[in-house]
Amino acid sequence: MSKAAEAAAWLLRAHDARERFRALPEDFAPRTTGEAYAIQEAFVALRAKQRGAAVGYKIALSSAAMRRFVGVDSPQAGVMLESTIRRSPARIRAADYVGLIVEFEIAVELAEDLPAADAPFFRSRVAKAVGAVMPAIEIADDRGADYARLPQHPLDLIADNTWNEGAVLGRPAANWRELDLGKIRAVASINGSTVGEGIGAEAMGHPLDAVAWIADHLASRGHGLLRGEIIITGSLVTSKRVKAGDLVRFELQNLGGVELRIE
């Protein structure tokens, strides 16, 4: 068994046992970004047996401040699996997660492929492939991570698929080209109280620049983005911890809202 496969099996056991997030054992801990993504691919393949095929991607650490906090100089990518994608209004059980957190994002759905051969990608090229844009709430599970220790092993976040547990998607808007996605205002609320506000530019300067980054990342590993896939482009508001009984809403100016109830 390869080191990546060993690490993936260890991660799957840790998730199944609801263990707290911690560094991978030194014997197969990633030492490079490439090793971390190899572990992620193996881990996602194991989870896909129960959760369905990959249907999209997420971006973690999309802000410079978060990258400095974790001690890395680049965002990190994660994979979203079929059964973890929900449409608004959605419900999930807090008991199904160890450390449930949510993030507030602009999602895009591709109408055309972005093949690896076309890299590098830019905003104008990506825009031609985007079919619809919508608000999204990312569902994540930090499994009680000690955030102060993340800078000691930042690649482990990649290996653990950047903690993604899916997303809730709002209504797709096909007329998004009429809007300036970088200036769109966003408001997040929990139980009717505003918990954060932001604009589209919080997603790596522009949401389509974030999509270009994902496309380039995949191309570097010999993969492309495919028609129909969903990309959530990074949180416009700081992540929030939620609990049973909470009602989470996220509104995007001119693009509608998305709702998640925690049971």
Exposed / middle / buried, residue 162 (Cβ in 10 Å: 0-12, 13-18, 19+):
buried
Q: Which domains does the chain have, with CATH numbers?
A: 55-262 (3.90.850.10)
Residue ranges of the chain with per-residue pLDDT less than 50: none
In this prediction, residue 21 carries a pLDDT of 97
Q: What is the largest CA-CA distance in the chain?
A: 52
In this prediction, residue 37 carries a pLDDT of 97
In this prediction, residue 65 carries a pLDDT of 65
128 CB contacts (<8 Å, ≥6 apart)?
112
pLDDT digits over 140-150, tens only?
A: 999 999 988 98
In this prediction, residue 63 carries a pLDDT of 76
| C-alpha distances in Å from residue 102, one per residue of 30, 41, 146, 168, 188 | 27, 23, 17, 10, 10
Helix (H, G, I), strand (E, B) or coil at 141: strand
pLDDT digits over 48-65, tens only?
A: 999 999 999 999 988 776
In this prediction, residue 74 carries a pLDDT of 85
The tokens for 125 are: 């090229």
166 CB contacts (<8 Å, ≥6 apart)?
80, 81, 83, 84, 85, 86, 138, 139
Instruction: Say what the pTM is.
Output: 0.95
Q: At what angle do helices 3-16 and 33-51 cross, to 10 degrees?
A: 50
